[in-house]
Amino acid sequence: MAYFDVPEIEYTRYSNRQLAAVPLAVLAVALLVLSGSFLVYGTPVPLGMDFAGGTELTVQTTTPEGEIAASFDQTPESVTGTGTENQYIVRFSSTDSAALTDQATDSDTGLEPDGDAEIVQSVSSTSASFGAGSQQTAMLGLVVAFVGMSAIAFLLFRTFVPSIAIVISAFSDLVIPLAFMRLVDIPLSLGTVAGLLMLIGYSVDSDILLNNHVLRRSGDFYESTYRAMRTGVTMTVTSMAAMLVMAVSAYVFGIGLLASIGIILFVGLAADLMNTYMLNLCLLRWYKFEGVRR
């Protein structure tokens, strides 16, 4: 396996408080963003149609993208291209799909047809009650995954500080992308929940790798840390590059969901680098040199 040229950081130059300060400050800002969003909007992150309910029309029309909204009585939540010429996805909070279809095809005020193609290519509608049920199921899945990850961490190391370091890092890896979603208005959907579940797995992998090298393998603390970084940073940076390429490619071809998942994973993996090799590491160092009673 090829490695990046990972620099050997002189951790002895920094105290545990200095190492923990940056990731904890970022986590605090992320929690502040989510709390403020909950107070203002009623939800920590914007909810997609899967969870909030609504209607999605795929339309084929020569009407310019900026003028599509004028054909409907209700202002669309969003209008995005699909990558196919003259084809757009129009999303509404309303669940009255029949009325929206009629408005799109109205000969006087509706959308302009694109040749012989039907204006409305497909219709997808989700009721508010079904969306609320899906939201509860998705949140339950995230909680179960996080609790399961925490239990595995405690079973593997059976000591409080190394285990709680993994849990705190994973929690921060999850909260920071959620705050990012709020800031850039990426809606929470079944697809983005899948991306968040993947982040939990990535986080546990890198944190357990570091803990295992430091606590269970021979060698000096900093030597063990550098060995773990060579593998962990290589894997994480490679994954970040792959997610960035996926996000950019999906955006170019108009695949919004894949673009959202890619950018969420990219941000989450960047947070994981910070949390693993600053926050987790400072807790391990404290445990190794000060917390362990000999």
Q: Is the dihedral of CA 121, 46, 182, 237 positive or negative?
A: negative
Bridge-partner residues for 92, per DSSP?
55
Write the secondary structure of 222-235 as one string of H (helix), E (strand) and C (coil): HHHHHHHHHHHHHH
Amino acid 99: pLDDT: 86
Amino acid 130: pLDDT: 67
Amino acid 294: pLDDT: 43
pTM of the model: 0.83
Overall residue count recorded for the chain in this entry: 294
Residue 218: C-alpha distances to residues 84, 204, 266 (Å) = 57, 22, 33
Q: Write out the chain's pLDDT in tens, 294 residues.
A: 454 677 778 888 989 999 999 999 999 999 999 999 999 988 899 888 778 778 888 888 888 888 888 888 888 888 887 777 888 888 888 778 888 888 888 877 888 888 888 888 888 877 766 667 777 887 788 888 888 888 888 888 788 888 888 889 989 999 999 999 999 989 888 888 888 988 888 888 888 899 888 888 777 888 988 999 988 899 999 999 999 999 999 888 878 888 999 999 999 999 999 999 999 999 999 988 876 544
Amino acid 290: pLDDT: 77
**By C-alpha distance, which of 219, 204, 208, 233 is closest to 284?**
208
- Distance separating alpha carbons of residues 130 and 222, to the nearest angstrom: 52
Amino acid 1: pLDDT: 46
